[in-house]
Amino acid sequence: MSFRRGGGGGSRGFQSNLPFGLSYSDVGSYKNQEIPTIPLPVNNPITNYEKDISLSYINFQETMKNGPFHTGDVQPESELERLQHDDGIERYSDRYLNKNKNINKSCASINEHPFQLELFPQELYPVMGIKNKNKILALSKLKSKDDIFFNNEEAANIAGLTMLEKLKELAEDEDELNNNNNNNGNGNNPKINGQDDIEEDDEDDDFDEDDDENDDYNGEKYFDNGEDDDYGDEDDGDEPAF
């Protein structure tokens, strides 16, 4: 087949050197007319079966990235990049970092994997850690598939709420709690103001202690509405209150 005169290739055959009686304008002129627009297929929503496959794939990929066969980057990191994550300063948050290669500590590199030597050429033996005798195969436990992603339902419900709305919700929760406590107090124990106050103070103190211990992110502790102020309740009697 010769396309030299026939338009210089199949793709250009219709654009130039068309057969007698035809012209490019014939093809182009119908662009906006009756040629039906093709509705392109749209991806259907994910089925459960497809979701299982995807989650298995993601799990497997994570295992390989954290496994002994991961080879890393070609370029060694520059000094600046190394200092970004390993500058020699110990930090509190270091223990929470997910260092890829150190998860499977018993088999972090190919030196420690128990290979079948007869399957490899001899020239690769030096890097296979033949001298290490006690090699353990570090199997990976299959994570439950839903562990990969955080709870999306919860996220869907709460996503979009601003911090202000969250604080409002917290405040409403507290009010409900207080109301419940008051109702319980009326039903069961006779109220003595002082004791109530002391009890409330104790509860508040406990609440404050809990805040101090675990919750660094509770913005409320910085915003004290004065409910905990006991100064007004103290009956010194002698000095006027200011």
Partner 1 sequence: MSVIDNIIGNTMSEIEGSKDSGISNLPNDPSNTTDNNSGSNNTELFVSTNCINNVELRTLNPEAFLYSELIRSFLGEKASEVIKCLILKGRLTFRELSDRLNIDLKSIKETLVSLVQLRCVSYMDSDGAGSNIKKNGNTNKFYYSYNEEGLLILLYSGDIITNLTNYYYENDDDNDEKQLMSEILHNVLSFGSLRPRDFVANNHNVSESMLQSLFVRLVEDKFFINCTPLLYIPKIDLWNRLYSREYNSIPKNSALSDLKKRQQSKDKAKDKYLQLINQPSSVNENQNIIVVDTKTSLRKINDDISLTFNLPRYWKFKRSQHIVQFAAVRAGYLPSVILETALKITEKASPDVKSPLLYTELVQELNELEGITDDLKLHEENQPGVLFNAIDISKHLSKSIDLRGSIVTKLTSRQLRTANNGTADNTDNDAEQPSKKRLKTEDGFVVPPLPASVKPSNDKNNLENENYEDEHDDDYDDYIDDDDQEPHSVPIINAHLKLLANGSVEFIKEAKPGMYYVPYSSLIPCLKTYTYDTLIQATLGSSAFRVLRCIRENRLVTEKLLNNLALMREKDIRSVLSSLARYNGVEIQELPRTADRSASRSVFLFRTNNSRAFNFMKSNLCWNIANLIYRLENLKNENSTLLTKAQREDVKGKEMELLLTSEINQLKMVQERQLNSITRIDRLLSLWEIFKQL
Residues 44-63 that bind partner 1 (CB under 8 A): 46, 49-61, 63
Piece of 76-84, 168-176, 201-209, 230-238 that binds partner 1 (CB under 8 A) = 76-84
Whether residue 204 contacts residue 174, with contact meaning beta carbons closer than 8 Å, is answered with no
Q: What is the helix (H) or strand (E) element at residue 199, kind and residue range?
A: helix 193-214
Residue 130, interface with partner 1 (CB under 8 A)? Answer: no
Residue 9 region, left (φ>0) first, then alpha (ψ -120 to 50), else beta? left
Chosen residue from 86, 101, 102, 128 binding partner 1 by CB under 8 A: 128
Give the tokens for residue 76.
Answer: 């060694």
Burial profile 106-138: b = 16 or more Cβ within 10 angstroms, e = fewer = ebbebebbeeeeeeeeeeeeeebbeeeeeeeeb
Considering only residues 26-45, where is the footprint of partner 1 by CB under 8 A? 26-27, 30, 34-36, 38, 40-41, 43
Running DSSP on this structure, what letter comes out for residue 18? P
Residue 232, interface with partner 1 (CB under 8 A)? Answer: no
Piece of 113-121, 169-177, 180-188, 228-236 that binds partner 1 (CB under 8 A) = 113-121
Cα Rg of the chain (Å, integer): 36
Binding to partner 1 by CB under 8 A, coded x per residue (else -) over 165-194, reads ------------------------------
Pairwise CA distance, residues 62 & 103, whole Å: 12
- Give the nearest distance from C-beta 140 to partner 1 in angstroms: 6
Q: What is the DSSP string of 129-151?
A: TTT---------PPPPGGGSS--
Residue 104, interface with partner 1 (CB under 8 A)? Answer: no
Residue nearer to partner 1 on the CB measure, 170 or 192: 170
- Give the nearest distance from C-beta 70 to partner 1 in angstroms: 5
- Give the nearest distance from C-beta 35 to partner 1 in angstroms: 6
